[in-house]
Amino acid sequence: MKDIHIDIRIRSASYGELDETERILVDEAKSAAARSYSPYSKFAVGAAVLLANGTTVTGSNQENAAYPSGLCAERTALFYANSRYPDQPVDMLAIAARNESGFVATPVTPCGACRQVILETEQRFKRPVRILLYGESEILLIEGIKDLLPLSFGAEFL
């Protein structure tokens, strides 16, 4: 028997430590949270996707009385980006979430289904998607989905 060690790297930064492109994308994700439709959870999530051509696409979580019919902000944004600009690789994805008292202090991380969709996006465009997770106390920077979804199942197994 042997242990397998997987190296995962996540950087923590303050808003002021981000570069201008990163700050703008985080601001877009925060604004997108205001457009969330989340009457059931009252948990509003915004996502902003930066495409290789410089276009930004945003999305927010969209809930439904039949709960599983709703969709997370990340997938709303990525699916829209890929529908509208199918040839444009995704460079960066910023996520921001708020409850009724304001933006969360500790960054929210994407759910498992969204991680799988981010993986598919990376494989589709053959480049990593940088992920910025906004929290009031810190922002987490992740260089690609491998650091959020180790041992992933992807197209290479088919």
Interaction between residue 70 and ligand THU (CB under 6 A): yes
Q: What span, in angstroms and rounded, lies between the C-alpha atoms of 125 and 134? A: 25
Interaction between residue 58 and ligand THU (CB under 6 A): no
The secondary structure element, H or E, covering residue 82 is: helix 73-84
Contacting range for ligand THU; rule: CB under 6 A; set: 21-29, 69-77, 121-129, 146-154: 69-77
Interaction between residue 26 and ligand THU (CB under 6 A): no
Q: What span, in angstroms and rounded, lies between the C-alpha atoms of 87 and 124? A: 10
| Binder of ligand THU out of 26, 73, 78, 132 (CB under 6 A) | 73
Annotated catalytic residue, options 22, 28, 63, 74: 74
- 74 is a catalytic site residue: yes
Q: What angle do CA 136, 142, 144 make, to 5 degrees?
A: 150
Q: What span, in angstroms and rounded, lies between the C-alpha atoms of 12 and 30? A: 18
Which residues within the stretch 104-133 sit at the binding site for ligand THU (CB under 6 A)? 108, 110-111, 114
Identify which of residues 50 and 114 has a Cβ nearer to ligand THU in the complex: 114
Interaction between residue 80 and ligand THU (CB under 6 A): no
Interaction between residue 38 and ligand THU (CB under 6 A): yes
> Which residues are marked as active site?
74
Where on the chain is the footprint of ligand THU (CB under 6 A)?
38, 41, 43, 45, 61, 63, 70, 72-74, 108, 110-111, 114
